[in-house]
Each structure stands twice: as structure tokens, then as C-alpha cells.
Structure 1
């Protein structure tokens, strides 16, 4: 530092002078050194420029040493010092003035001469790359072009750029799709900042989904019918947040897949007398949700192909079929087993009680699609879910019937082989016992399936022979 100051004051070897000191006079050099060594020291007091006995070595040494370290590695050390001051206030909602206090004010007012422009430029560079305070246009000390390039921006600004709600921004941060940091003000208000340079990728993520209103308009369905069909047509649809009042996010590709059906067909303004559009059938046939889903599935499978598209309808309502085709399909649907079952129907299909089926759904052994505002049906279960459950588990009553023992005795006997039910214990257990289909259980069933009920014991290697008669 002394060599640099000597070269600066005597005008020798000016190329060795660091950028912030170039062009400064003696008084300006002193102000800059005291600023860097005082305000950028996290341990400094509220008024670091006021030094008592500044001429003494033990007082001036810490200030000049820190300033020399920053100037020697300019601007990296300057940015590191600002970052350390920012880390000391993590979790607090502070602007630049609240974060750096007088250090920010003195930079703008005390070092306002043009000779200090490299220092202010280095500070602006740090704000663009590292500041997490969420700078805004109200800060007139920052040029507007700089605000467009900052790395961290407020969450509400990001919401306006992406055309989504601030709640959606918070949910994207919780999902890990968008990097963000939340702080709290002294009054308890939350303040979120997010990465500005990640918004382009997030915009593509949002574009891959559409809300229920947009999907409803694209498919040509009413609001009530769309609510009934949403989870049945699009099982991967989800709320954008955990709150029930938030918007739905539907995969755009699945909606476009339906809209692409019949893309090359002729478009007619008025179908033939022997033809009906799906929109006409929805209006006059009063198709329920299950029938609409079955129609969409059979069309997607190519088993029922539309003949044309109705120009007066939208979405799937544009599909035109022969009336006899639709009538024949509907009659076959009435005799075919339904792919979706209610809780009572599921209980019958599984040979169990309704309360057992509810327990299986609530404890995630069976996946059910809940259908709000559908009278008489709270949720529906696919037949494939029932088959998957039967492939993994077996009810104790089924095993007991096969081995010709009671369910209570079966549980005791299987416990001797360290085979226990997975239907819970205590007050929360299922009212009907069931076991996982394991090799041990299969071996036990195969070993003792031929035994009589009074001869059955899992502790023996084989069935006991009945006692011989003396006669």
C-alpha cells in the first residue's frame, strides 16, 4: 500500500496504481481508504469514519490493512466484503439502505465525484450479480438498464413477467423449479426474491401446462362437466398449490393429443341427417361422466373413428359420427363392465365391506380419484387398481377358506412362522386382515392347503395323520 501511495503522489509508475485510485488526489485517496477500511468492516461501529487518535498506528492499522487487501484484489475482494455484509442480515427484509446503512449513503453522497466512478460501477456490478434485496425502480440512484439485468428480483415482479399469480411463484420455489429466497420484515411480512436469469426456463415449464379454464375452452366442455371429467381424462392434473381454491395445472400435451384427433378430416358446417356431433350428443343424450370418458378412450384407441369435424363446435365436440355408430356404442357400454367403480361397487368386487374399502383408500393401498360435487359418488376407483391390490395382497378370509380354518386361528398359526398382517394394529387397524403375497406365505399355503381344519398346525412339518381305529 505504501509503495502504491508513493507512486501515486510522486507520479511515478502510474501503471502499478489500482483502478480505484487512478486519477485521485491525496484527499480523495484518504477518503476512499477510510471508506473501504471502515464501512466494509463487519465489526465497525455505527460511525466508522470518526476515528479517535487516527494518527496512532494501532488505530489506523486495521483500517489501512483492510483497505489495502480490498484494493490489492479489486474488485473481487470488494464484492466479497459486500457479500459478507449481506450474509449478516440473512432472513431479514432489508433494502440496500437498510443492508449497508451509511456505507450505501456515503457511496452515493460522499463519493459522488466522477473520479470515484469505478467504485460505484463495481458496486452496481455486485448489485446485478449478488444482491438479494430485490431492487426496484423506486431506487433512482440505480439506472433503469441495470434493473433489467439484476440476478435477483422481487417475486411480484417475476409474477408479472410470467403472467402468473404471486402464490404460483411461491409454489414454484417450493417445488424447486425456481430458485428463491424468502425474508421477513420487522412487522412479519414475507418478502420473496427469485433468480431473474432462471425465468426463461420456468416460462417453458409453465407453458407445458394449462389451467382448467383454458382446457375447458379448448375441449369445448362446460364448467360443471369439466370438473367431473378433469381427473378422469387427465389423471396427472394437479393443483398448482396444496390449497383447494387454487388453479388446476393440466399437461398441455394431453389436451393437444385429444385436439389432434381427426385433424385431417373434412370440416362440415352442417352434418348429414344420419350423423351427429359429440356436442349434439352431449346436449341431448345427457351422457354422464363415465360415458364421456369411455367415448374419449375408445376414440383414442382407434376403435371408433370420427368421420368429419363440425365447424360450429369446439374441441372433442367437433367429432362427427354416424348416429347408428353412437347408438351401438352406447348399447354395448351398458352391458360392458365399467372401468370406474364407486366405493360400494369396489367393496363388492373385492368381496369386502365398505368400511374396509374406505380404509384401504385412506391409507393409500387403493388409489381413488375424488370427484367433488358429483351427487352420490365421492370418488371412483379403476378396476386396474383392484387387480394391482389383489396381485400384492390377500385377505385372511381367502387364505382361511383355502386352508379350512378360521381367520383368528390363521393369524395365530401364521404368527408362529413370523408372518404378520400389514393391515395395522390397535385402534387404526383395518377391520379385515390382509397379508402381503410373499414367498413364505405361498409356501405355507402350498404346504398345508390339503390339511383338514382340525389337523392344521404350522409348527409341524406336515399334516398329522388321523388316529387309527382299533377295529
Structure 2
């Protein structure tokens, strides 16, 4: 709109009375009035006003004969030393730049005036041309004043409206619409209500500081926000989090959770964002952010949510799926001991954190608890499983130790134990259907274990062979029987045993050799170091082994003081004094733990 030379009004001393443009900067308009009437600065214009009965800007409007409609076109704040009136819905003085100035080169070239939204600290892009604003001369790097920008040229002579400008991302431009106060409100993301300028500026000030790599120590308090680089980083960060909402926000929460020591405290794990969401951004408009946070807690937060989390609404506390061990027991009807054993058996997933006090905090998911409860329901205890399978309880324990039978819960020898629990599916797996009758003599699996004097690993190996079908099960072919009662051919079992024993490796580990000799592992290793028990390197080159024949040779050649004392019924010290032989190794000989003698040297005094 061109300047209009209005008819003179008594008391009006301005020769030129410019009219404001739509969206023009309030400070820029005051400067334009001053320059058109021969003043150099806004302060000189302020001095020319009488300001006796009304604020300076009101007097200026009267002298310019500005109507209410014309005044409504202006946006922003007045220059320093003028009245602090704000032309912007819901904005405050801290939201505006009062010294530095930004501009869009294309708007400056096309319109020739300063847009009021450029005065906002967080407006970094032009919503008309989708390019980044500028704050310095591209030639000399100087940051020009508002009066210099209006002229269109820097003090170095370079035009400030040259070049097409750098393109800004679409999500930044959309956010800038809201920051500048879009008349109809801007919907920034799915689930969020239309944003006005006030909530948009708050959102960027608080949320833009957060990133997977950084947590602000004082959210909302940002130094250097009048600098375009600082402001654009905040706007870009906020736009990135709002894009594909809430995926980016959940990624931020995951990063925050992973960068701190595991703690059951929500405040410590998500500080200071937790405080920002529920205190600093408590306006109802930000509810979509709190909803996304609570959704994340339900899916990914391992800890508890309870009444001490007073900032969370009651619905969020009640809907949280994590439970303590006691709560899990009360919910499922199982005892706490059963819950603990299900966790130890890795049948019930749980999350654990070590607290500063040294205690462990454990939580269990309600969905996981439901699955584990179904699996444990109807389970059989040790006695019931033993009766169903036709095996003594001791034999069943051996098969459990050999991992042939896998219980839901097994006693571990510690206090406060839960009862043994075997699932119905596991017991059913150990119940077999015979493959047909046979005229040959048969024997039950339980009788073989009782009378055949199998070597320690052989009962478990035999059970595996039966379950795998390597040994046919005899019977009528109709009735299913437990593992202990299955009928087997003695000849087939004997052939299987002979074949297994003939193919068993002729060497054993030093640990196994120690068990065979009845000594501690340290003693066996000491014997191999001295060469009394000869060991060789295994085929894989990773460990040493002892031949079974070497164990037999050692037994025939050497005897321990402990074995002599056991057979004689005397104390080892008395046997040591009574022997008229020198030990080949021992505490006083080479520092080893046990005395050994050559059997050929044994003579009592």
C-alpha cells in the first residue's frame, strides 16, 4: 500500500503518514514512519511526541489517523524505550528479537517491508518461499540493523535481497506457520489439536532442546536464541520429533532410558523430560505428548508405575502392565516361590535392576505372567510325575540333572524352595506308545536301571535312545505307558550298551579323571604337572586329556595317604609317621595338596 498524504489535522506535524502493510513488523513500521518524516532513528520520532495524556504509540496512531483495522495489520513489539504493547495473540516480549533482525531475501525484494513474524526468535524460515531466513550479509558477514535491512543494502554495498535462498524442510515450514500464529491454527502432527502461536513457541522452547545425545539441564532457558543458528537447531529438532509421531518421540525416550543407569525411578530415568511434560507443558494442548509418553511406558518401561508417581493420571497408573513378585503371585494365585522359580527357569521373563542399596528390583509383565500361569496350571509335582512315569523319584531327579526331563520348576537346594512342577506336556512326551507285541523276553526300563549296574552317564543315554526310537518299545501297540514301564528287549539293550561302550572315547578330561580317582580337581591337575599322571593334548588342541588306561596304571602304581588311612581305620597323621617310605608328592615335598606313595614302597614300621 503506497504512502498516503492525509489532510492536515490540527496539531499533526508529520508531512508523510505511511499506512501499515498486512503482517508488517510493528518496530519496522515505526522506523518507516520516522524515516519518511526525516528522522534517522525511532528514538528521534519518540522525542517528537508530546506523550502528555496517552502512551507514545497511541499518540502516534492518532497523529497518523490509523484506524483499528489498520492497526490490526501490524505484528510484533515496539522499539526499545517505546511502550511494551504486543501485537500477537498469546505471545510475550521474550518471544521477540529486540535488537537483531532477520529477513527473507525474496520477500524483501518483492514487498520492500519487514514482516512482523521475522521478529520472532523461533521463526527461522519463510512460510511463503519455504527458504531459511538470513541474519547477516552474505558478503561481509556483518549483522545489519533494522534500518539497514529496510534499505535493502548492507553497509558494504552488497544487496541483502540477492540470491534464491536456501530451501527449508517442509516440516520446518509447517512448524513456522504455527510459530507465527496461523489464523486457523496449524495441526502439527496426528493426534495434536491445531496449534496457536503461544503453544507452538512453548513446544519448541522445551522440546527442541532434547535429542538422543543431549538432555538440557535447564529446559526452556536458552541463551543465544536471537542467533539464527541456535533457533534453527531448536526448530529443526522439534520438527524431527513431530515427524512420524510418535515414532521419533519414542526413539528419544528409548535413547534417554539407555543412557542412564537402570533405575526404578521414572523421574531419574526420564529427567528432565518427565517434569517438562507434566509441569512446564501442563496446558491441555500438550496432552497428546503425555499420551505418547504413557503409551511408551506401557510398552517399554520395565519398572513399576504406582501412586508415588503423582504426576501421572490414575488411569495410566492402573493400566501399567508391570508387577512386583508379590503382585504377580496375588494376581496368578501362585506362591511367590513358584514365581521366583519360574523366573529362574527362564519360563517367566522379568526385568531386574540393581539399586544403590544393593537390593535388586524385579518386575514382571502381566502378559508374560498370564502365559506362565497357563503353563504351570495343572502341572504335576515330583511324586505325581514319578507315579505317572513309573520311575522312582531319585531316578527322575537324575534324568532332570541330565536334561532328559525338563521341569517347569526344580529345587535348587536353596531355602524357601518351591515344589517341583512338571508340565503335562513334558510328562506326555515321556509317555510312549509301544510299536507292537513281541515273543522275545522283555524287561522294563526301570528294571534295567535297578539291576544292570549301569555306569553314571548310561541311564540318561539309555533314556534318550528310547525316547528317540533307537530302541523299539514292545507292547500291545495301543496303551501308552510311562518311560519307567516301557518294555524293551534285553538283547537289543545289551547290544546298544556294548556298541556305546566300544565307541566311547578312550580319554577323559582332567576333571573327569579326578572324579574317577576320587580326588579333588586341584590334586588331579597337580599330578599331571608332576608327570605322575600323564596327560596329553586333545585333538582340538584346546585342553589336555587323560587316557583311561593311564588312570588304571596310576591306580596300580600309586596310592594316596587318605586312601591308606581310610582302609586302615587310622588317622592320616598316624599313618604318615608309621610308614617307612618317602612320598613322591605332598605338602612337604612339592607343595601339592595330598601325599601319594608308590605302592611298591609301602612298608609300615
Normalising by structure 2, we get a TM-score of: 0.41
Kindly indicate whether the alpha-carbon contact (under 8 Å) linking 2:324 and 2:363 is maintained by their aligned counterparts in 1.
yes
The residue number in structure 2 matching 1:63 is: 234
Matches within 5 A, 1:44-63: 44-63=215-234
The residue number in structure 2 matching 1:209 is: 379
The residue number in structure 2 matching 1:248 is: 420
Structure 2 distance, partners of 1:39, 1:395, is 66
1:110 to 257, 280, 288: 280
Structure 2 distance, partners of 1:337, 1:66, is 71
CA 1:146–1:89: 2 relative to 1, 3 Å: same
Matches within 5 A, 1:313-332: none
The residue number in structure 2 matching 1:131 is: 301
Number of equivalenced pairs: 309
CA 1:17–1:239: 2 relative to 1, 3 Å: closer
Structure 2 distance, partners of 1:172, 1:394, is 41
Q: Does 1:389 align with 2:502?
A: no
| CA shift for structure 1 position 99 | 0.3
The residue number in structure 2 matching 1:185 is: 355
Gaps of 5+ in 1: 220-224, 258-296, 301-335, 351-356, 369-381, 397-417, 419-423, 433-471
1:438-460 CA-partner distances (Å, limit 9, x unpaired): xxxxxxxxxxxxxxxxxxxxxxx
| CA shift for structure 1 position 142 | 3.2
The residue number in structure 2 matching 1:37 is: 208
CA 1:427–1:228: 2 relative to 1, 3 Å: closer
Structure 1 distance, partners of 2:247, 2:305, is 22
1:56-89 CA-partner distances (Å, limit 9, x unpaired): 2233332222111112332221122111111223
CA 1:7–1:366: 2 relative to 1, 3 Å: closer
1:17-50 CA-partner distances (Å, limit 9, x unpaired): 4357635543432222122112455323422432
CA 1:386–1:94: 2 relative to 1, 3 Å: farther
SS of equivalent residue, structure 1 residue 58? helix
1:83 to 254, 260, 263: 254
| CA shift for structure 1 position 393 | 1.9
1:365-395 CA-partner distances (Å, limit 9, x unpaired): 6779xxxxxxxxxxxxx98976642342249
Structure 2 distance, partners of 1:386, 1:208, is 38
1:111-137 CA-partner distances (Å, limit 9, x unpaired): 222222222112111111222223234
CA 1:255–1:125: 2 relative to 1, 3 Å: closer
| CA shift for structure 1 position 100 | 0.9
Kindly indicate whether the alpha-carbon contact (under 8 Å) linking 1:40 and 1:82 is maintained by their aligned counterparts in 2.
no
Kindly indicate whether the alpha-carbon contact (under 8 Å) linking 1:20 and 1:119 is maintained by their aligned counterparts in 2.
no
Matches within 5 A, 1:30-429: 30-89=201-260, 92-150=262-320, 152-166=322-336, 168-169=338-339, 171-173=341-343, 175-212=345-382, 236=405, 238=407, 240-241=409-410, 243-244=412-413, 245-252=417-424, 339=447, 341-342=449-450, 345-347=451-453, 357=455, 388-394=496-502, 425=546
Kindly indicate whether the alpha-carbon contact (under 8 Å) linking 1:150 and 1:196 is maintained by their aligned counterparts in 2.
no
Structure 2 distance, partners of 1:155, 1:115, is 38
SS of equivalent residue, structure 2 residue 295? helix
Structure 2 distance, partners of 1:338, 1:114, is 73
Gaps of 5+ in 2: 1-171, 435-443, 465-487, 505-538, 540-544, 554-605
1:319-372 CA-partner distances (Å, limit 9, x unpaired): xxxxxxxxxxxxxxxxx9981555xx544xx7xxxxxx45x569x76779xxxx
The residue number in structure 1 matching 2:40 is: none
Structure 1 distance, partners of 2:445, 2:271, is 73
Normalising by structure 1, we get a TM-score of: 0.51
Kindly indicate whether the alpha-carbon contact (under 8 Å) linking 1:239 and 1:247 is maintained by their aligned counterparts in 2.
no
- Structure ranking higher in helix proportion: 1
Kindly indicate whether the alpha-carbon contact (under 8 Å) linking 1:230 and 1:237 is maintained by their aligned counterparts in 2.
no
Structure 1 distance, partners of 2:302, 2:493, is 48
Kindly indicate whether the alpha-carbon contact (under 8 Å) linking 1:168 and 1:241 is maintained by their aligned counterparts in 2.
no
CA 1:254–1:200: 2 relative to 1, 3 Å: closer
1:257-278 CA-partner distances (Å, limit 9, x unpaired): 9xxxxxxxxxxxxxxxxxxxxx
Structure 2 distance, partners of 1:394, 1:193, is 52
